[in-house]
Amino acid sequence: MTTTLDLIADPEITCPPTDLWSDEPPVESDLHLQQIILLLTCLEWLWQERTDYYASGNLTIYYNEAQLKKRDFCGPDFFVVLDTEKRPRKSWVVWGEDGKYPHVIVEILSKSTAKVDRTAKKALYQDTFRTPEYFWFDPNTLEFQGFCLVAGHYQALKPNDQGHLWSEQLGLFFGIHNQQLRYFDADGVLIPTPQEVARQEIAANNALLEQANSEKLRGDKLAAKLRELGIDPEAIA
């Protein structure tokens, strides 16, 4: 029987490394960068109490040793892996992550990548990654499609009345809002960014302050009127 010590002693047997830096080129445009950041920050805010997932963007996924030697890497624009430890990583190394592949992948289309995203990458995510859900979005033309893995093959997701596509893996809808790909909850409510949440809170606080000031003003006017009538407001308070 081969033991761990035998594997270590045998110079013919090597194990691929797991501590690898990402090898992805810079994102193609500001629209790409903004879209990736938007998907990441909204999910981080929504799932801020969760520690059982990993989400990243433009990060290399190393999925087998042969591919590593050929330097034939794949780095989705955005992906989510479920049921894993939430911690910083240099890259996603499948053989160092219990064989886990992404559960959801989103590619941001461009003129130079659209054909590959619709064909070669779709085939890779379907046949090798076995990723349950694959979406793509073009920030320029607003082309938006999604697929789910059924019996080993991707089938197109049908949009709801709002044009949103349901992600069973995330428990959220993807949809276009203000020319950007956003999340919506099961009721169709937009998942806000942290900045939008802050603005909403400021607006709500300002509204409360305005209401309080208005009520104080009415109270002051009533007190003044009572005094004109010779009535002490404090006496009836």
- Give the model confidence (pLDDT) of 128-150 as tens digits: 999 999 999 999 999 999 999 99
203 and 106 co-located in one domain: no
Q: Across residues 147-163, what is the average pLDDT?
A: 97
**For position 196, what pLDDT does the model report?**
86
- Rounded Cα distance between 228 and 196, Å, is 48
Q: Quick: pLDDT tens for 191-206.
A: 999 988 877 766 556 6
162 and 115 co-located in one domain: yes
Contact by Cβ (8 Å): 136, 157: no
53 and 128 co-located in one domain: yes
Contact by Cβ (8 Å): 51, 85: yes
- Rounded Cα distance between 105 and 237, Å, is 64
**For position 234, what pLDDT does the model report?**
78
The whole-model pTM stands at: 0.77
Among the listed residues 127, 175, 167, 119, the one whose alpha carbon sits nearest the alpha carbon of residue 147: 167
185 and 209 co-located in one domain: no
The number of folded domains in the chain is 2
* pLDDT of 127 higher than 80: yes
111 and 133 co-located in one domain: yes
Q: Across residues 169-195, what is the average pLDDT?
A: 96
User: Mean pLDDT of all residues in the chain?
Assistant: 85
What range does the domain containing 125 cover?
4-191
Q: Quick: pLDDT tens for 36-91.
A: 999 999 999 999 999 999 999 999 999 887 766 555 668 899 999 999 999 999 99
CATH number for position 110: 3.90.1570.20
For 126-151, the DSSP string reads: IIII--SEEEEE-TTT--EEEEEEET
* DSSP for residue 26: P
- Rounded Cα distance between 16 and 194, Å, is 39
144 and 173 co-located in one domain: yes
100 and 169 co-located in one domain: yes
146 and 121 co-located in one domain: yes
207 token code pair: 């509204």
